[in-house]
Amino acid sequence: MILDLSEVSKLSGYIIGLKRALCIDYGDTRIGLAISDLEWKIASPLKVIKSRGVFQELFDIIVTHSVGIVIVGVPVSLGGDRAGMQYEKVQKFVNKLNELAKRGGINISSVFWDERFSTVAASRFLEESVLSRQKRNQHIDKVAASFILHGFLEYIHQAIQIAVRGGPRASC
């Protein structure tokens, strides 16, 4: 099932502390994965897997890591539009993921999240590391997924803070 953001905010109150969030940065060749902690505060790069024949490996990760929601990075134009061939590929991938999960008795929800500039940010982050160019290229997709997931987790915590306190806290 693909959720909108208002549904995600409601759902998060029930699963934070019980289930993790998994982020997928889908690409035609490789998929970057990142995972949250149970409190949904930390986004950690998990792994990079090949795009072909990926579903069983994803289901194994979902079960092993106790995942309750899958965040999927989607290409969004600078104007905010979700369109184009890559968006359609991501949408098709998520629909298949959800269909196979349901058939397999795996209960997960999915949400699309803006992936703009995640690869650029990951690339800049990795350029500052001591990794060789080859190693950076091996890790870029999972680091990009962690940037996407981090943005989602911040959004959720702000939404919860607004709901509980009636507004964001002022910083001192």
Q: What is the pLDDT of residues 107-135, one digit of tens each?
A: 888 999 887 656 656 566 656 666 567 76
- Of all residues in the chain, what percent are helix, strand and coil, respectively (each to 5)? 50, 20, 30
Q: SS3 for 43?
A: strand
Q: What is the pLDDT of residues 10-54, one digit of tens each?
A: 666 667 778 999 999 998 899 999 999 999 999 999 999 998 889
Mode of pairing for the β-strands spanning 67-74 and 20-26: parallel
20 in any annotated domain: yes
Mode of pairing for the β-strands spanning 20-26 and 30-36: antiparallel
Give the number of residues written for the chain. Answer: 172
Q: CB of 52 within 8 A of CB of 43?
A: no
Q: What is the pLDDT of residues 136-164, one digit of tens each?
A: 566 678 988 998 999 899 888 887 777 66
Tell me how many degrees the CA angle 111-99-21 measures, rounded to the nearest 5.
Answer: 35
112 in any annotated domain: yes
110 in any annotated domain: yes
Cα 147 from Cα 145, distance rounded (Å): 5
63 in any annotated domain: yes
114 in any annotated domain: yes
**Residue 38 has which token pair?**
């149970």
Cα 158 from Cα 162, distance rounded (Å): 6
Q: How many domains does the chain have?
A: 1
Q: Whole domain around residue 102: which residue ranges?
A: 5-165
pTM higher than the cut 0.85: no
Q: What is the CATH number of the domain that holds 57?
A: 3.30.420.140
